[in-house]
Amino acid sequence: MQKYDYLIVGAGLYGSIFAYEMNKKGKKCLVIDKRDHIGGNIYCENIEGINVHKYGAHIFHTSNKEVWEYINQFCEFNNYINSPIANYKGEIYNLPFNMNTFNKLWGVRTPEEAKMKIEEQKKEFGIVEPKNFEEQAISLIGKDIYEKLIKGYTEKQWGRKATELPAFIIKRLPVRFIYDNNYFNDRYQGIPIGGYTKIIEKMLEGVEVKLDTNFFDNREYFERIAEKIVFTGMIDEFYDYKFGKLEYRSLRFETEVLNIENYQGNAVVNYTEREIPYTRIIEHKHFEFGKQEKTVITREYPSEWKEEDEPYYPVNDEKNNKLYEKYRELAEKEVNIIFGGRLGEYKYYDMDKVIERVWGNMKVLNIKD
């Protein structure tokens, strides 16, 4: 009964790239997605002439020239530079931590002064063996930066007190002793002109796509119609939670159209105090330097993941990673199933790394030129 070479479960970036490459090679593919749109979490919806990132801010960045040239074949990118700011009780600070941040915090003007201030605060606490996230952060960056720019944001993101989070989840903190607000160190960076959905549309040209279609609603049928399956959903769900459920963090988005031209003057503003329930506000028009009369903002509220929620961030702590290893061992024994993406591999991937990962899997399968 096999009608397709590949059934691709998920029309996000991973699944769409795979379908594009296979279609080029003359393979017959069917892409299904349980949502009513293509693009997965990089889907953009046009509201008031503004490309709204429906599932949170996505900024493409990479140092891999091959990846940059690959993604640019599908659309033109603008020269957007990610320079988020932090709002702590009305005080505004530049991110990542750099000389602009340190000048605002302490009035220091030189790298040497900033380094001395940080070392002074680290010594004040004298933490030799950090026992939790809070102690680890203070031992890396000192008290002021931690309390104003890290503590509240992190506690909202994880839904737990910083003293209850393990120290190992924060190995290092990006600190720059230069006046540079560019969040990423990568050589290439930008936003696709017209939004990310256009990229996915081009990738899926000539490929059969079925939306509002859940693999698990008709699993036996879908497993029969293709020689191989590319699965980008949750790996534990694929195996019917055989070893237990992996944990995720979820997000709730509150989007609002405002009858003003400019709400916050920046695409991304993080709210780092614990008392404000959302972690950040995105003003979408600034990603593409929009001049529209209205603006669209989105507040992001982190939450614990429940089955009816969308899973966004794998909780890659020791317990969950051990559980994932059991599922990975099962996956490696599969002959005709390829697991990919954040959910399929239970790993946080930036977009450029998704592309590299697809290429890597194709190379293993000996199907990349």
Active site residues: 172, 176, 249, 280, 300, 348, 350
Cα–Cα distance measured from residue 340 to residue 228, given in angstroms and rounded to the nearest whole number: 13
Which residues, 6+ apart, have CB-to-CB distance to 329 below 8 Å?
none
Residue with tokens 């607000």, as numbered in its chain: 181
353: left (phi over 0), alpha (psi -120 to 50) or beta: alpha
- Residue 258: CB atoms within 10 A of its CB come to 13
Q: Please, are residues 82 and 184 in contact by the beta-carbon 8 Å criterion?
A: yes
Cα–Cα distance measured from residue 96 to residue 85, given in angstroms and rounded to the nearest whole number: 8
Q: Which helix (H) or strand (E) holds 201?
A: helix 197-203
Q: Which helix (H) or strand (E) holds 94?
A: strand 91-94
Write down the H helix ranges in 57-174.
65-72, 99-106, 111-125, 133-141, 143-145, 151-158
Cα–Cα distance measured from residue 319 to residue 106, given in angstroms and rounded to the nearest whole number: 40
- Assign 130 to helix, strand or coil: coil
- Residue 116: CB atoms within 10 A of its CB come to 13
The amino acid occupying position 260 is: I
Write the CA distances from 81 to 84, 104, 184, integer angstroms: 9, 22, 8
Cα–Cα distance measured from residue 215 to residue 358, given in angstroms and rounded to the nearest whole number: 21
Phi, psi of 39 (to 5 degrees): 105, -15
Query: At what angle are helices 133-141 and 151-158 packed, to 10 degrees?
Result: 150
